[in-house]
Each structure stands twice: as C-alpha cells, then as structure tokens.
Structure 1
Amino acid sequence: MRVDDATVVDRGRYPDAVTPWERESWRATALDWVAGHLTAHGLRGEGALEVRLRPWSVLIRVPVGGRGHAGTPAGATREPSALPGQRATVDGQAAVWFKANPPASAFEGPLAAALARWVPDHVLRPLAVDAERGWALLPDGGDLFRTVLDREPVGPGGWEALLRQYARMQYDLVPYASEIERLGVPAARTLALPEVFDELLAGNPVLAPDERARLERLRPRVADWCAELASAGIADTLDHADLHDGQLFRPAPGRFTFFDWGDAAVSHPFCSLRVPVERACDRYGPQVLPRLLDAYLEPWTGGGRTAAGLRRAAELAWRLSALGRAASWGRMFPDASGGTEPGAAESAAWLLELLVEPPFRAG
C-alpha cells in the first residue's frame, strides 16, 4: 500500500491546510501502520487511496480485500461536501478508514474504543487505535445520514428518531463521565463554562475591540446562565458538539450510528442539541423545531422534572453550546509558519453567537 499517481487528494476549502500528510516519512509510517493492522484482521489494501486533508484531520479511505470483514469512517465534514466513498463498497470494493487527529483531539481513537465497550449499539468499533499518535483505523459504517437524505424522502420523524436515540446514549454515558475525561476528552462541565469563556476570550487574537468589549460585558450573564442550567439537575455527560447529518450513519430506518468525536467534550448534554436541530430546520423549516425538542427531551423526563423546566434548560444550553463549538476550532494541526492561529476566526464567530437569542423560549 503506497501513495502513487492514482492517489486522490481532496483539500476541500482548505488548499493551504498544514497537516502531517505533507511529510513523506509520516505518510510512510502511517501507511505501514495501516497495512500491519489490516493483515492482523485478515485484510489487505487493494486499489487507489483517497485522502481527505483538513486543518483538523487526515482521513484516508483504504480499499481492501481479503477474508476479514470491513464493515464508513471517522472524520466527517464541517463543510457541506460529502466524503469520498460513503458506501460500504465502491464499484464492488470494500474499504476501511484511517484517521489522524492533531494533538488536541488525539483522544478520539481511545474514546471511540471506549464507547464501543460502553454503548456498542450506537457507535463503530475501531479496528485499531494508537492513542499516542492520535491514529485510528475504522470499519465502514454504511450510508451517511446525509447520503440517505439526498437519496430518498425522509421526513422530520427521521430526525426525531436520531435525537431520541442520541439522547438515550448520552443518558447511558452519564456514569462514565469521569472516565471519559481521563481519556483526554476536554472537560467543559456546566459550572466551569464561565472559565472556558474566559480562556477562549483571552486567547482569541482576531476579535475586533468592539466585539471583545461586548463579550466582556456579557460575562456576568454567562455565569448566571451556567448556574441556572446546573440547577436543572441534569448531569454532565458526553457532548458530541457537532452532530450533523454528515456525522452519523443510518444503517436502517430509525437506527443510527454516531461517530467523529474529535470535537467532543464532557459538558451539559443539551449542548449537543443545537447543531442537529439547526440542520433539520434548514431542511424542513422552523415549524419542526418544537417536535424535535420534544423528541430529544423525552429520555430526560422523570425525576420530578417538568416539561417547562427541560425546555428552559434546552434554551440555556442552546446558547452556551457556542462555547463548545468555539473551543473545538482550537483543535487543529499546528501551523509551522507561525501565522494566525488556525481556527481563530471560526472560534471568534462562535463566541459572538453567545450574543444571539435562541430561536425558542421556554415559556
């Protein structure tokens, strides 16, 4: 298995992205690692590699043959373009996926392996993980939900099902929150979010003076929102932080497989709600928002919680979720040129989302 003239390299909207793929020694070592683990699973690389380079990951589709079972990848898009080779086979060729994360999200492989033990019905099981180098080799997961949406009619009920399943998985992961942190997943617990806000604001080099001043004035309200959200009594757990239709597979109607944990944090679970609901509203219109909220909140009922209280918590978490998105843009491959910190502009844009009212009110 090697890089040759048939290798397809996709840089998307980031032609100048700095990744380790540019280093020949790194490519050779990574592909040797993949080949070794394929052999261990009774597989071998066959055909042209497809490489997807972004500031936050290197993703390689590896066509395979052999007696093993290769069952798509970890590494989805932040932009609307689809991944190459989204089906389990392309022209009859099965595939596995290699993903390399930057140091700040090197936890993704170990987290994926742990999730496969804790909630196996909801996630992919990695074929191999190298925690120190931030590498993972993953089986194919079938069709992305985005592919299904483009291919066949799927109503809002499909999104309700995925939100309900995802919320149940989060609920089941509550007892593992501390173990998830020990894997290196960033802690952004509800009561600590004001400190996360302070760090992001102080460390962002591209905010304009007036923008920075507006955010500084917002700080007391951020603290109040966090205190109120914590008082709702819902424990912190795993927050995917970027759960859109390109970050999950739909192996069967009403069933979903979640992946791509590079933006994850241990935080308030409801912070996960914003991204999928916004995507669904973009597709069907804002009138579907109430039923999507109800579907997600259903697994959190009980324990004396009221529907109004859960909606208020969702309203607060919707706004505070901007902090998780802002933080995730700092998990990039280092830029050796010493230029502007990668992701700083995107992180600033998310910080400014704290100033925007959520599209629903609890009352």
Structure 2
Amino acid sequence: MREDHTAVVDRGRYPDAVTPWERESWRAAALEWVADRLAAHGLVQDGALEVRLRPWSVLVRVPVAGRTAVWFRANPAASAFEGPLTAALARWVPGQVLRPLAVDAGRGWSLLPHGGELFRAVLDREPVAPREWEALLRQYAGMQSDLVPHAAGIERLGVPSARTAALPAVFDRLLAASHALDPDERARLAALRPRLADWCAELAAVGVPDTLDHADLHDGQLFRPEPGRFTFFDWGDAAVSHPFCSLRVTAERARDRYGPQVLPRLRDAYLEPWTGPGRTAAQLRRAAALAWRLSALGRAASWGRMFPGPAGARPGAVQSAQWLLELLAEPPFGSG
C-alpha cells in the first residue's frame, strides 16, 4: 500500500501504550496486506488513514474509493482468535455479526466492512427508550442460544474456555497471577473461594449450557442498522462461559443512562429466550444474579490480553485486580 496518505493517529487515554504500529517493518507489512486484500475485492484505498491505538488493538479506518471505508484490526497474540471467530460467527449466525473481508489468523489481522451507525452514536443523537436495550438483549440472548451447539468449535478457534464448572480454577489462576492486590484484598478474595465454588455449582445446576460470552457488550460494540435490530462485533474479550455473564456490561451502561430502575426489565428481557421446561422464572433470575457476580472473572481475565510492553511487561494488572474485587460486591438486583 502506498504510504503517501497521511495517517491520523488517536491514542485516546493511552498515550504511552506500546503497540506493533510503532515498528516500521510491522506497519509496512500490515498495510501491504490490507492493499492486497482490498485488491482481491476490486477495491483501492482513497484517502488518509485514521489509526486508533490501544493496548489491546490496532484499528485503522481505511477510506476506499467508491464505497464506505473498511477497517483493519490487529489483535495481540492472546486475542488473535477474534478474526477467525468473527468469520465463523458470520457462517453460524449470519446477519448477527460482521462478515470479514479477509482474515489472517496467524498474525491476528482482519479486514472488516463498515457496519453502519454505532448504537452509541444513536444514543448521542436522539432519545432512545429502554425498550431498545431490551430488544438488543433479547436478540443477543437468542444468538447465544443458537451458538450452544458450536461451543466446542468456538474453543477450537482459540477462544478461551471459562466454562461454569471451571470458573473456580479460573479464579485461582487470576488470584495467583495478580500483583496489584494489597495483602488485605488478597486475603478477602481468598476467603471468598468456598462461596465462589458454591455459586458456580448452583449456576451449573440450573442447566443453561455454556456458550459464547462477549464479555464486554456495551453501546460502542454494537451497530444499529435499524430500530430494534443490532449487529454485534469486537470479540477480543470473548470466552466460552455461562451465557448470563454477558448481561452485566450491557445492563450497567443502560443503568448509567436511565437509572437503576431499568435493571429488572433488562434482566427479564435477556432471560426470555432462555425460558423453557424445567426452568422457572425464579431460577433464571437467581442464575442471572450469580452470573452477574461471576462475570467479574471474565473481565479480569480480558485485561491480560494486551500487547506486551517493554521487556515483555503486560499492562492491565490494576484493572484486572479491580475486577477481581468486584466479586465481593452484591448484584444490584439482589439474589433473584
């Protein structure tokens, strides 16, 4: 790809983040790959690149002649599964996710089409009632249910396995690896371990199978092509785990916008696709409360999926520890 186009670089709140974009050889190889993949689709770059650098990804908006821009994304090794996962989801649940234009699984690269307007942009532009959030949660839960038969296949793509029965072991690993907890915090978390094991056993006993957990499904990770319809993307934090762990981030964003009174409605909208024989509303609500708490493990783990810093150091230790401490907090809608 010609480098005569100006690149505008955005580092957000991470001015010191170390990414491979800083390496000229990597940058040249990535842009050449983009040019080749565009050419395979009969496309050519036309305009300045917009580069968004974060500790967990390199994202480049590539203007294209005669059509909407496309997006190049590079993931760290720990989330290099995102491109292959996105491609697989486009086959398994078409219309629910973006269909990549190209994927290089070995290098963690993907080229994605424009997905439309972000839900966040819609929220900033016009009044949106809570029922729109209920619709997105119903759609997302339905997609998770459709993906249950593919859980093992998702794991084979390299997506981390954090199945409900294994969450106590995930907790043990995260606690042992954390160096940002003070002694009192570590002791409080260690004392929680027996209760955590009981929560996992109780959650598994409800009988809702493990499937894909996005783990960070907020209004900036959703396109809204039309009212009541959404396209899901950005799977770098995903895991195969209890599906209800996905509810937390979405519901918290809605709570911040509308107040805590919306939480029971959002929870119940999310749970609708999971109703069925042998599962009472009370059981599902209790399961949602347990998963809300346990979802902190997935968020803590995701902060380990960063580009290595100097001498191999990985950022995100403080954020991971903060999420582990969330295990000590009661769910906002009680036990169900």
Task: Tell me how far apart the structure 2 counterparts of residues 226 and 4 of structure 1 sit (CA, whole Å).
Answer: 55
Task: Tell me how far apart the structure 1 counterparts of residues 322 and 5 of structure 2 sit (CA, whole Å).
Answer: 39
Aligned to 2:310: 336
Deviation at 1:362, TM superposition (A): 3.8
Task: Tell me how far apart the structure 1 counterparts of residues 2 and 59 of structure 2 sit (CA, whole Å).
Answer: 15
Q: Is the 8 A contact 2:5 2:47 kept in 1?
A: no
Of 353-362 and 101-110, more deviation after overlay is shown by 353-362
Q: How does 1:97-246 map to 2 (within 5 A)?
A: 97-246=71-220
Task: Tell me how far apart the structure 2 counterparts of residues 37 and 58 of structure 1 sit (CA, whole Å).
Answer: 17
TM-score by length of 1: 0.91
Aligned to 1:261: 235
Q: Is the 8 A contact 1:3 1:49 kept in 2?
A: no
Aligned to 2:330: 357
Code of the aligned partner of 1:235: P
- SS across alignment from 2:73: strand
Task: Tell me how far apart the structure 1 counterparts of residues 322 and 334 of structure 2 sit (CA, whole Å).
Answer: 23
Task: Tell me how far apart the structure 2 counterparts of residues 64 and 221 of structure 1 sit (CA, whole Å).
Answer: 54
Name the CA shift for 1:167/1:284 in 2 (closer, same or farther; >3 Å).
same
Deviation at 1:7, TM superposition (A): 1.2
Aligned residues: 336
Aligned to 1:48: 48
TM-score by length of 2: 0.98
Is 1:345 the equivalent of 2:326? Answer: no
Cα deviation code 1:301-345 (max 9, x no counterpart) = 012210000000000000000000000000000113355x31100
Is 1:324 the equivalent of 2:324? Answer: no
Deviation at 1:206, TM superposition (A): 1.2
Q: Where does the alignment leave 5 or more consecutive residues of structure 2 unmatched? A: none
Cα deviation code 1:151-179 (max 9, x no counterpart) = 11111011000000000000000000000
Q: Runs of 4 or more off by more than 6 Å in structure 1? A: none
Identity of aligned residues (%): 79
Deviation at 1:121, TM superposition (A): 1.6
Task: Tell me how far apart the structure 2 counterparts of residues 212 and 26 of structure 1 sit (CA, whole Å).
Answer: 40
Q: How does 1:22-61 map to 2 (within 5 A)?
A: 22-61=22-61
Name the CA shift for 1:3/1:215 in 2 (closer, same or farther; >3 Å).
farther
Code of the aligned partner of 2:318: A
Is 1:314 the equivalent of 2:288? Answer: yes
Task: Tell me how far apart the structure 2 counterparts of residues 186 and 104 of structure 1 sit (CA, whole Å).
Answer: 9
Deviation at 1:205, TM superposition (A): 1.2
- SS across alignment from 1:61: strand
Deviation at 1:290, TM superposition (A): 1.0
Is 1:295 the equivalent of 2:269? Answer: yes
Name the CA shift for 1:195/1:38 in 2 (closer, same or farther; >3 Å).
same
Aligned to 2:13: 13
- SS across alignment from 2:63: strand
Q: Is the 8 A contact 1:308 1:362 kept in 2?
A: no
- SS across alignment from 1:59: strand
Name the CA shift for 1:54/1:3 in 2 (closer, same or farther; >3 Å).
farther
Deviation at 1:361, TM superposition (A): 2.0
Task: Tell me how far apart the structure 2 counterparts of residues 302 and 3 of structure 1 sit (CA, whole Å).
Answer: 56
Code of the aligned partner of 2:219: D
Task: Tell me how far apart the structure 2 counterparts of residues 16 and 362 of structure 1 sit (CA, whole Å).
Answer: 41
Q: CA RMSD in A?
A: 1.0
Q: Is the 8 A contact 1:106 1:133 kept in 2?
A: yes
Cα deviation code 1:27-48 (max 9, x no counterpart) = 0000000000101111100100
